[in-house]
Chain A
Amino acid sequence: MIAAPWLPQAASLTLGATAVLVGSGWVADAPRWADGGPLGWDLHRLRGRRLWRSRAFAMLCAAPGLRALGLAQTGLGGWLVIVALAGAPVPLVALAALAMVLAAQSLREAGNAADKLLSIATVGLALIALGARLNQPLLAFAGVAWVGGQLVLAYATSGLSKLRHARWRDGTAVRAALNSYNYGAPWTARLTRHPARARLLAWAIILPEVAFPFALLLPRAALMIVLAGFLAFHGVIARVMGLNVYPWAFLTAYPATLALGAWLRAALGLG
């Protein structure tokens, strides 16, 4: 069940598409990171660490290096997409190269949650693909547990941390944020104008996040509906806040989460 054929293919497709999007974003944004620009490595390296002033770091972290890494990420992502669509085995060499590209990018700039999810999905898919190739179900399961476990942790932590704040519980935080230009839009400001609606929205975010670990116990079709709901939630956030990579990054973790849910239900004798 863990090494079901759809799992590496679906994971490869979502990971590849996300890598294409993130990589092409780096390529398009590279001029801002060029020497002489506002985020140039010539400024960053002044922070004084000896390693950062090395030639190797400069090659990697200056704009040409970032552009090359972005291109490599785009190419590797495209490779994974094509392989998934063709139904061919996932190329481990592409995953190893993608992991190195992601690590190199994180040396330059601390990654956001989407970058971290991409790294996690890459390692997880590598374990799944290696397990399938070597006929080692436990190895594949390690990949499933890594990716699915991190997604569960991400959602649950996010919900619990909101739950701790009175401003989230009474809707003040979500109302204020959605009334800003940075985190909101005109329609979100209208939506949360009334405190009762803001409170309802806050709880509509908090409760599914907190309860997400229990969704793993649902039948596969129901879990898919839950994940589709979360994907729609990320889609709305992407539209409102400009976090365009996040829906894709979370999507990379969904195939493994479905497999983890199936394993959990089987292990607990739920069918």
Chain B
Amino acid sequence: MVEALGPLALAAVLVMLALSVRQQFHRVERLEIWLERLGIVPQWKFFGQDAVGWVDDDSDDWHVVARCAPIADTDADTDTDDDAATPWRPVIWIEDRRWYHGLWNPHFRSNVRLLILAERLAMAPAERRPPPDALATLAIARACMARLAPRADQALQFAVVLTIGRSDRRLARCFLSDWYVP
């Protein structure tokens, strides 16, 4: 009985390895997503694969900024007069990493998740109202609320902005949210 374990395990491993090779070259189907997530039949996505979608926008840095304004001034329009609102403040702002982030960087996972959500909003057609991804909107709005802590009489608005490269850090606004109250 015990003697059979070795050949069985080896056969299973070889099948999984063969499936893993196949996995690198085709789109992951619904059932396979779970095999992929669990590392049973992994797809190795590093820089360069088509599925990552990375090579076309590789010097883009996405950021999230937010501002507050009195609720009374934010009734009608998302583009409230700048005089009524506070200056934009960074909520998720990509800067050079510190040396210790190479050793200890516990927020990397959540930062990546939030930036994926922000990018999803920014990529949506600008004319679509309300925003196409309500959960992404809520998640980013919560992050902004936590950072800016608006007063009870204030509303909060966020924007997803883009910079390209290091030489030119001009901000391109790609998504502007509605005004939200705490």
Whether B68 is near chain A, meaning CB under 8 Å from some CB there, is: no
Whether B132 is near chain A, meaning CB under 8 Å from some CB there, is: no
Distance in angstroms between the alpha carbons of A123 and B40 in the assembled complex = 9
**Interface of chain B residues 2 through 20 with chain A (CB within 8 A):** 2-3, 5-7, 9-10, 12-14, 16-17, 20
Q: In the bound complex, do residue A38 and residue B106 qualify as a contact, i.e. CB atoms below 8 Å apart?
A: no
Q: Which residue of B lies closest to A168 (CB)?
A: B48
Q: In the bound complex, do residue A239 and residue B102 qualify as a contact, i.e. CB atoms below 8 Å apart?
A: yes
Contact flag A180-B60 (CB < 8 Å), given A46-B135, A134-B5, A239-B99: yes
Contact flag A241-B97 (CB < 8 Å), given A38-B146, A177-B58, A180-B60: yes
Whether A203 is near chain B, meaning CB under 8 Å from some CB there, is: no
Among the interface residues B16, B39, B44, which one has the most CB atoms of the partner chain A within 10 A?
A: B39
What number of B residues sit within 8 Å (CB to CB) of A?
63
- CB-CB under 8 A from B97, the residues of chain A are 185, 239-242
**Per-residue CB proximity of B40-53 to A under 8 Å, as 1/0?**
10101111111000
Cβ contact of A176, chosen from B58, B62, B139, cutoff 8 A: B58
Distance in angstroms between the alpha carbons of A113 and B20 in the assembled complex = 14
Q: Which residue of B lies closest to A140 (CB)?
A: B6
Q: In the bound complex, do residue A38 and residue B143 qualify as a contact, i.e. CB atoms below 8 Å apart?
A: yes
Distance in angstroms between the alpha carbons of A157 and B45 in the assembled complex = 8
A68 nearest CB across to chain B (Å): 16
- CB-CB under 8 A from B12, the residues of chain A are 142
Whether B129 is near chain A, meaning CB under 8 Å from some CB there, is: no
Q: In the bound complex, do residue B48 and residue A162 qualify as a contact, i.e. CB atoms below 8 Å apart?
A: yes
Complex interface: stretch among A11-19, A82-90, A145-153: A145-153
- CB-CB under 8 A from A264, the residues of chain B are none
**Interface of chain B residues 59 through 100 with chain A (CB within 8 A):** 59-62, 94-97, 99
Distance in angstroms between the alpha carbons of A176 and B138 in the assembled complex = 32
**Per-residue CB proximity of B158-180 to A under 8 Å, as 1/0?**
00000111110000000000000
Whether A137 is near chain B, meaning CB under 8 Å from some CB there, is: yes
Whether A119 is near chain B, meaning CB under 8 Å from some CB there, is: yes
Distance in angstroms between the alpha carbons of A241 and B105 in the assembled complex = 10
Q: In the bound complex, do residue A176 and residue B48 qualify as a contact, i.e. CB atoms below 8 Å apart?
A: no
- CB-CB under 8 A from B109, the residues of chain A are 25, 29, 109, 112
**Per-residue CB proximity of B134-168 to A under 8 Å, as 1/0?**
01001110110010000000000000000111110
Q: In the bound complex, do residue A139 and residue B9 qualify as a contact, i.e. CB atoms below 8 Å apart?
A: yes
Q: In the bound complex, do residue A242 and residue B61 qualify as a contact, i.e. CB atoms below 8 Å apart?
A: no
- CB-CB under 8 A from B164, the residues of chain A are 180
Whether A229 is near chain B, meaning CB under 8 Å from some CB there, is: no
Q: In the bound complex, do residue A138 and residue B10 qualify as a contact, i.e. CB atoms below 8 Å apart?
A: yes
**Per-residue CB proximity of A102-134 to B under 8 Å, as 1/0?**
110010011111011111100100010011001
Distance in angstroms between the alpha carbons of A61 and B96 in the assembled complex = 31
**Interface of chain A residues 215 through 249 with chain B (CB within 8 A):** 235, 238-244
Assuming A119-B38, A139-B6, A180-B60, what are 17 further A-B pairs, CB within 8 angstroms?
A28-B106, A29-B110, A38-B143, A111-B37, A143-B9, A153-B21, A154-B46, A161-B50, A176-B58, A177-B47, A180-B165, A182-B60, A186-B166, A235-B102, A240-B102, A242-B101, A242-B108
Listed from nearest, the 7 A-B pairs whose CB atoms lie closest are A138-B6, A119-B39, A162-B48, A239-B102, A28-B106, A116-B39, A38-B143
Supply 5 A–B pairs (Cβ within 8 Å), ascending by A: A143-B13, A157-B44, A176-B165, A185-B97, A240-B97
